[in-house]
Every structure is written in C-alpha cells, then in structure tokens.
Amino acid sequence: MHLCRWEQRGSQKPATRVENSKPRSLYNSDSKQVWGQPPSAVRSTRRVGGGRRTYRNHWACGPRTAEGGCPDIQLILTQPTYNSTSALATTAAGIPTVAIVGRPNVGKSTLFNRIVGSRRAIVGDEPGITRDRLYGDAEWEGRHLRIVDTGGILPEEKDLIPSEIYRQARVALSEASAIIMVIDGRAELAGPDLELVRLLRKSNRPLFLAVNKVDSEKQSSLIDDFHRLGVQKMFPISAEHGRGVDDLLDAVLQVLPVAEPVEQEPEGSAGVPPAVPRASRLRMSMGDATDEIAENEAESAAPPHEVKVAIIGHPNVGKSTLLNCLTASDRAIVSPIPGTTRDAVDEIVEHNGRRFRFIDTAGIRRKGKTHLMAEKLSVVMARKHLEGADIALLVIDATEGVSQLDAAIAGYAHESGRSTIIVVNKWDLVISGKEKAARPTKAERMRESKRPGDRDAYEQRLRYELKFLNYAPIVFISAQSGKGTEKIFPLLEEVATERRKRVTTSQMNRFIERVDFERASVPVRQRVKILYMTQASVAPPTFVLFTNRAVKLHFSYQRFLENQIRQAFGFVGTPIWIKNRARNS
C-alpha cells in the first residue's frame, strides 16, 4: 500500500508531498487534487536511493503566424506552458518533447496526468475521450520535459473525427524527440497495434513501449506477448498507480539531448503576478481605507499580467473555429458534430506588446442533456476555466439567436465577475439571406423571429434578451472566413484595461456630490446616506459605500449607482460590484 500526503501551503506556494512508500511510484492516485487545478500549484519531491527527484509543472505558450482574414499576431518565445503548440518556444528553451501515442482507451491520458502531476486530461472508461493535443511540462531528475498527450490513433479510420485525431497526432510526432507508445497489457495484440508500430518506426525517433495496466509483479508475464512488436525498450507500467513510470522516464532521459537548466520563476505560473484576495480588501474600516487604496495603487503600477480569455458558448457555435482564426493555426479539431471539443485547449498570442491566453472550452449544455461521463466532466472543466479567466468571449450563433442556454451561460460569466464580450458568429449566413429548401418548422420560425437581418435590430433584440449584460460590447464576425475578427483584439485590449482601472477616493467623493440620489426610486426604509465611497479592488472593480446605517442596498438603488458610475468612469465590458458598510461596523 503506497501512502502519500499532500499539504497545501497557500494559494501561491506549491503543495509538498510527503511519501512513505517504495521508490517505484511517482505519487499515489489518492492524492487530494481536484479537477481543473492549475498544474503550477503542484510540486512533488521524493527521495530515491539517497538522491532527490523533483516534479514540477509550468504553463506553455506559442501560436504561429497569421494567414487569410485572421488578425496579425506575433510569435513569442518564452518558457512553454501546458496545452500549447509552440515547438519553437520549447526548442529555444532547450526542452525536449516526448509524445504519448497509442490506440484508444489504453491509458494514454492517465499516463500523461501521472507525468505532469495534475489531472489535466479528462480520463474515463469511454474510448476516444481525448481528441485534441494536450501539452504539459514536467521535471525529472533535474531536467525539463515537454509531454504531449494525443487521442487514440486508428490509422485506417476514414471518419472525420478519427482522421482529425490522427492528423493532430502526426503534428505531435513531428515535434517529438522521443515517442512513448502505450498499449493495454490485458488485451491481446491487434492489427492496429502492428500498423501503428510500423508507422512510428518511420518517424526515426527513439521508441519506447509502455505496457500499461500491469499493476503487480504477478502480472509481469503479460508483457511476453508484446515482444512480437519488435520494440526493444519495453517497460511494464501501471499509469493509474505509478508503478514502473520512473524506470520509463529514466530510460527516456538517456536518449534525449541534455538541455540547459531553466531558471525557476519566483512568481506564479508563466510569470503572472499572484492575485490579491478580494475578500481581504473588503475587510477594512473607515480609518484604514486610505492605506488600502495606497496599497492597491502600488499594485496597479506592477507590469501588466497575462490576460486569460475563455471562449464559451453552447455546442456547435464556432468556438474552436474562432480559436483557430485568432491563433492562425489548426490548433483545435473543428467538425459540424456538436460536442467535438472536450478538453480545454489554450494558446498564447502576443498583440501590441500584450499577452493573451485564449482558452477554447467545451460546449456547455444543460444537465439533462449530458449523459456520458466525458460530457459531464467537460462541462465541469469549462466552468472552472471560465472562473479562472479574466475575459469571456460569449459566442452566439447568429442563425439561432439568443436562447435560454445562451442566457444561462452569460449568467455564469456575469455572476463570477468575468469581463464579457459578446461575439455574434456566423453573421455572414444571416446577411446572405440563405433560405432552406424545406418548409421551416415551428421552432425554426420562432428562431427566425429572434434574429432580424438588420444589424441594429439584431443588436437591439440581443440587448433585450441579455439585459444584465448591458455593459458588454458586441461584435459581429464570421470565424470561418475571418471577417470581423480584426475587431476582437482592440476590444480585448480595451476591456482588459477597463477591468483593472482604478478610481481614486477623491474622484469618487466628487462624483457622489454630483449625483442626484433623489432620482433613485428606493423605499424609505432602505434609504441610506452615503458618507463617502472608495474603490476596494479591481478585476472586477469593487466599490465600498460607507453609510450611516447597516441596511442592505435596494437592487434599484444599486443599479442606479452602477449606471452613474459607468456614465462617469466607463468600465466597458466589466461587471461592477458594490458593497456597503455602516460607519460604526
């Protein structure tokens, strides 16, 4: 029985692992680690034969150059992070790449999660869960590795999604310095395994065979049948329990070129400054408000951080197509089948000196519409990536109009305090007036009434359906052709700046003197006198009212005050949070 313990020592400090077990497993599968936890939050250390092995994660980066109608982007060469395609970035850093390949449902994603030290990839019993390439960085014996997880390869399959998975795997093989082929030790050798080995040998890369699901020494004889593949470097492993993974990594390191050590970043993932807890900012009194503002102003002078942009929406609205257009690559698999994307795929783009991390999330569905475990987990991961982003690109299908599901997804972004930009995709199909040959159904006629062909009328209808997002800018695009996408980057820069805008206390006090609060329709019992007002934090902008008595603000009074703040100071695209505090509390 392998026992291990994880200790979380703070939001920015990594978790330290204490293990009393045999030196044959990387870490125990019972570790208390939740889905969606950033890889940089985990660092495991263990002793092997008197030495110490450290295991660490980073974040990855790297888009390519622009082509066609998509906006121009600039490639950046930085330390790579997980789930990115920049082979140039890792090559510049001297980090070798290791690709994990194999047939569907043999344990590739489980091995990937084991090596990178986090549950980055969705794992389940259903075959074909992983589709897009997933990237992760790890450290073994003091050397950095870049791990690539691929979907299950079926070379002879001609269907759209299997062929796209094979295309993604070929990209990973072209980037790899070594290849780990995973095979199910409990299954018999099949023809696709022989065909895959033949294809891998043509790549002229060092090939390692990992016979998975060998959970004990008693099952070591299972690997005898796989000598027929002719792979000399064969290792029995158990990706679920970590057995034999260290021997596999030791052998991989022997054939990889020695890279220069990468300096450890003192701050959070990819150099992002640690976030300041918002709750601590709100615990202040009237006496220390000035000190709090001075501290926040000093923090706002720090260099700009990486802006995380989550692309959200219901299935089949064009999120992956938009990611490919913004990054000028074929990063994500695109198909007309709803629910194609499952694992979140992200890319880093630098535009006008500012770094944007675009995160393509899985389509969010209603709970009653998700039946497979992979679909349920993909929705959970999409919600977690949304909560960790700065800006949300809410993608709406222009041919369908705003549905209740779109309003619910927009509510997730609004309630979590994410800045929002509404992206109306497939607008070219609306203005072209393309009609269907068949007689429209009742549902189609209802959708037709929700999407007028005139842009102003469409925007007015959209504003009516999403009244709570009256602060969010709207952009009409066609992600497939690239039309209108050049407007997204200027909007992102504006919204990212507005999200971190700070208003001084003196400006707020002068603002309060000019506001006519008699115009606000508030019940007498809930009327309060505002002594002064200050901005407690940014991202999202949070304001604290100091009043004469402890009364919860009436919603109409809070809405009136928010509208007055926007009229005076802007805050385009970002929600505003307003708190009140009694003078003597």
Q: Tell me the pLDDT band of 445, cut-offs 50, 70 and 90.
A: low
Domain formed by 276-298+501-582, architecture: 2-Layer Sandwich (3.30)
The tens digit of pLDDT for each residue in 98-132 reads 999 999 989 999 999 999 988 888 887 777 788 88
Report which secondary-structure segment, H or E, holds 459: helix 455-465
Residue 299 has pLDDT above 60, yes or no: no
Q: Which amino acid is at 231?
A: V
Q: What are 193's two structure tokens?
A: 């395994």
- Those residues whose C-beta lies under 8 Å from the C-beta of residue 353, and which sit 6 or more positions away, are none
Mean pLDDT of 440-458: 66
Whether the ω angle into residue 452 lies within 30 degrees of 0, i.e. cis, is: no
Two tokens, residue 335: 């198909």
Report the phi/psi class of residue 571: left, alpha or beta, with left for phi > 0 and alpha for psi in -120 to 50: left
Tokens matching residue 54:
């450290």
* Per-residue pLDDT at 189: 87
Dihedral of alpha carbons 401, 460, 561, 566, sign? positive
For 69, 217, 404, 525, the CA distances from 221, given in Å and listed in that order, are 57, 8, 56, 79
| Closest C-alpha among 404, 442, 41, 79 to residue 264 | 79
At 207, the pLDDT band (50, 70, 90 cuts) reads very high
Tell me which of 448 and 508 has the higher pLDDT.
508
Q: Whole-angstrom Cα distance, residue 52 to residue 48?
A: 6
What are the domain boundaries of the chain? 47-255, 276-298+501-582, 307-499
Q: If one looks up domain 307-499 in CATH, what number appears? A: 3.40.50.300
Q: Is the pLDDT of residue 135 over 60?
A: yes
Q: At what angle do helices 289-300 and 505-514 cross, to 10 degrees?
A: 110
Residue scoring higher pLDDT (31 or 147): 147
Highest-pLDDT range among 18-27, 284-293, 370-379, 527-536? 527-536
For the cut 60, the answer to whether the pLDDT of residue 85 exceeds it is no
* Proportion of the chain above pLDDT 70, given as a percent: 72
Size of the chain, expressed as the number of residues it contains = 585
* Res 452: pLDDT: 59
- In single-letter form, the type of residue at position 550 comes to A
The residue type at 92: A
Q: CA 561, 566, 569, 573: dihedral to nearest 10 degrees? A: 140
Alpha-carbon gap, residue 184 to 96, rounded angstroms: 26
Note the pLDDT of residue 304. Answer: 52
At 37-61, the pLDDT tens digits run 333 333 333 333 333 333 333 333 3
Could you give the CA distance from residue 408 to residue 364 in angstroms, rounded to a whole number? 10
> What confidence score (pLDDT) does residue 119 get?
81
- Within the chain, what is the greatest distance between any pair of CA atoms? 86
- CA dist list (Å): 256 to 19, 62, 142, 206, 249: 29, 22, 13, 9, 11
- Mean pLDDT for the chain? 76
Inter-residue contact 459 to 474 (CB < 8 Å)? yes
279-287: list long-range contacts, CB under 8 Å, 24+ apart.
281/536, 281/537, 281/542, 282/536, 282/537, 282/542, 282/544, 282/579, 284/536, 284/544, 285/585, 286/531, 286/546, 286/583
- Nearest-angstrom CA–CA distance, 473 and 320: 21
93: its two tokens: 């850093």
> Confidence band (pLDDT; 50, 70, 90) for 519?
confident
Indicate the residue type of 171.
Answer: V
Residues whose CB falls within 8 Å of the CB of residue 434, separated by 6 or more in sequence, listed in order: none
Tokens of 74: 């600039």
pTM of model > 0.85: no
- Give the residue from 209, 211, 213 showing the smallest Cα distance to 238: 213
Confidence category of residue 180, pLDDT binned at 50, 70, 90: very high
DSSP 8-state assignment for residue 243: B
Place of tokens 């990839």: 121
* pLDDT, tens digit, 9 for 90 and up, residues 467-487: 999 999 999 999 999 999 999
CB atoms within 10 A of CB 298: 9
The single-letter DSSP state of residue 268 is S
Q: For domain 47-255, which architecture applies?
A: 3-Layer(aba) Sandwich (3.40)
| Average confidence (pLDDT) over 228-252 | 93
Q: Do domains 276-298+501-582 and 307-499 have the same CATH topology?
A: no
